[in-house]
């Protein structure tokens, strides 16, 4: 592995057993007041996707855009196991 500024390159080997994963599937999406939270099977929050935030410096995501992004994040364990 090559090191770039002290960080080693990490390679994914597709045959990692489910019990060895740090964030066990299935991942779910929960809607909150202004964001969607992606959680693993144990309830650990993995990602927040905010929408309609008036404090955002740039144009905020719509609710539908944020929902689709959160849903795609929740699908990642399935893609990695193939």
- Rounded distance between C-alpha atoms, residue 16 and residue 81, angstroms: 8
Question: Among 56, 80, 51, which Cα is nearest to 66's?
Answer: 51
Give the separation between CA 74 and CA 81, rounded to whole angstroms.
Answer: 13
Q: Running DSSP on this structure, what letter comes out for residue 19?
A: G
pTM listed for this prediction: 0.70
Q: Return d(Cα 20, Cα 15) in angstroms, integer.
A: 10
Backbone angles phi, psi at 27, to 5 degrees: -95, 140
Q: What are the structural domain ranges in the chain?
A: 50-82
- State pLDDT tens for residues 3-49: 344 444 444 455 555 456 689 999 999 999 999 999 999 999 999 99
């Amino acid at each position: 592995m090559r090191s770039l500024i002290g960080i080693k390159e990490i390679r994914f080997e597709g045959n990692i057993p489910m019990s060895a994963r740090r964030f066990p599937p299935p991942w779910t999406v929960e809607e909150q007041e202004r964001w969607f939270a992606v959680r693993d099977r144990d309830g650990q929050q993995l990602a927040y996707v905010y929408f309609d935030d008036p404090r955002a410096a740039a144009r905020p995501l719509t609710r539908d855009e944020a929902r689709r992004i959160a849903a795609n994040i929740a699908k990642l364990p399935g893609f990695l196991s193939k």
